[in-house]
Amino acid sequence: MINQKTNPGPLKPINAMIALAAVCLSLVLSPSVDASSRIKDIIQFQGVRDNLLVGYGLVVGLNNTGDTLATGHFTKQSLQAMLNRLGVKPTDAGLDSKNVAAVMVTASLPAFSRQGGRIDVTVSALGDSKSLLGGTLLVTPLLGADGEVYAVSQGQLAVGGFAATGDAETVVKGVPTSGRIANGAIVERELGFDLASLTSVKMTLRNPDFTTARRVAQAVNAFLGTSAAATLDPSTVEVQVPESYQRNVVNLLTDIEQLRIEPDQLARVVIDEQSGVIVMGENVRISTVAIAQGSLTIRITEADQVSQPGPFAEVGTTTTVDRTDIQIDDGSDQRLTVLQDGVSLQELVNGLNALGIGPRDMITILQAVKTAGALQAEIEVM
């Protein structure tokens, strides 16, 4: 019996080439999802929103850092009214404590919050209190925009900053006149919104755009297999609830928000004049234009020079003579740069950097290019 050994050597390069070709083909045929975003990240469902709450209360237990009751009339009146409700009849002479501060309490009531649930609150000093460190917020009703009480807050403050004062120096870290109470408010009233009974759902784009709104509607229709989604305007897409999702709108919203689309961008250049920051979108294009940048700089330096007669001179006196040095820079070393039609953002930046242009001068150049009609983008000055 003769054993014959096969030689797999020549097959290895062939297998490697086949594998490489398969990878390249998959990259070409597979859709790019790098620039895509979840619908969840670019829209919000109408009706699913937070509600702002605000209240006025008192913080007690401060270490002599509270409001001055002699000048803080509203703090004094609030303290008197609170003590009267508790059956205490204080006198004006007895209200001289520095351990009480009037505060504003703010909170955000999330959508679908249920009675008995808890939310975080922020407490901020309203009077001349120096610090709320160590204070306790007394029972404070939190009102909505309609004037109704939706939550009640009370608890110990957590203050991130502090202040230390001496005879010659004061050290302040953070903001000691503001603090938070985690789970410091109890929800007392629910918002009436029946999500399950909706027959249609409206989605609002965070950045309104015709193209993006249409892509959202197309993605939803492709997923549902029907024409349930329609674009109403650049910021609103309405979806009719299909029969398979009746009384189960939560599942519909969950499925929709996981779909991916590629949002469209407006060609825009955002300029912050104060800080010199320039942000340019990817779709910014420049028509054929020539750019030159130069400035005239004159520098004058004055220096005094002492002039005195030579050694053993019989005449002459020592005196001071003015000497002036003038340097002129007319920007002659700067060159003219030509940007061809349809250059990209990277080519525009490279061309301006080649001239040695800083952010401040670049802002002026971009505005001049826009005036010349060569900048195919919108300029927004902050």
Residues 207-235 have pLDDT tens digits of: 999 999 999 999 999 999 999 999 999 99
Q: How confident is the model at residue 76 (pLDDT cuts 50, 70, 90)?
A: confident
Average pLDDT, rounded, for the chain: 79
Report helix, strand or coil for 37.
Answer: strand
Span 363-372, mean pLDDT?
A: 80
Task: Report the sign of the C-alpha dihedral through residues 54, 60, 66, 67, in that order.
Answer: positive
- AA identity, residue 361: D
* Structure letter (DSSP) for residue 92: G
**Are the beta carbons of 154 and 140 closer than 8 angstroms?**
yes
Q: How far is CA 248 from CA 132, 199, 353, 373, in A?
A: 47, 10, 57, 53
CA gap 59, 137 in Å, rounded: 4
- DSSP assignment of 141-208 equals EEE-TTS-EEEEEEEE-B---EEEE-SS-EEEES-TTEEEEEEEEEE-S-----STT-SEEEEEESS-
Q: For the segment 272-329, what is each residue's pLDDT rounded down to a tens digit? A: 877 777 887 777 777 776 666 665 444 556 566 666 666 666 666 777 766 666 565 5
Containing 260, the helix (H) or strand (E) segment is strand 260-261
**Residue corresponding to tokens 């003219």:** 336
Q: List the structure tokens of 68.
A: 């001055």
Most confident option among 92-106, 153-167, 200-214: 200-214
Span 29-58, mean pLDDT?
A: 82
Q: For the segment 124-150, what is each residue's pLDDT rounded down to a tens digit? A: 999 888 899 999 999 999 999 999 999
CA gap 110, 99 in Å, rounded: 33
Q: List the structure tokens of 321.
A: 């003579």
**Are the beta carbons of 96 and 127 closer than 8 angstroms?**
no
Other beta carbons less than 10 A from residue 363's beta carbon:
20
Residue 306 has what pLDDT? 66
CA gap 364, 97 in Å, rounded: 59
**Residue corresponding to tokens 């004037």:** 147
Residue 187 has what pLDDT? 96
**Residue corresponding to tokens 């009675």:** 115
Question: Taking the complete model, does pTM exceed 0.85, yes or no?
Answer: no
The residue extents of the domains of the chain are 51-187, 200-261, 268-295+333-381
Other beta carbons less than 10 A from residue 97's beta carbon:
13
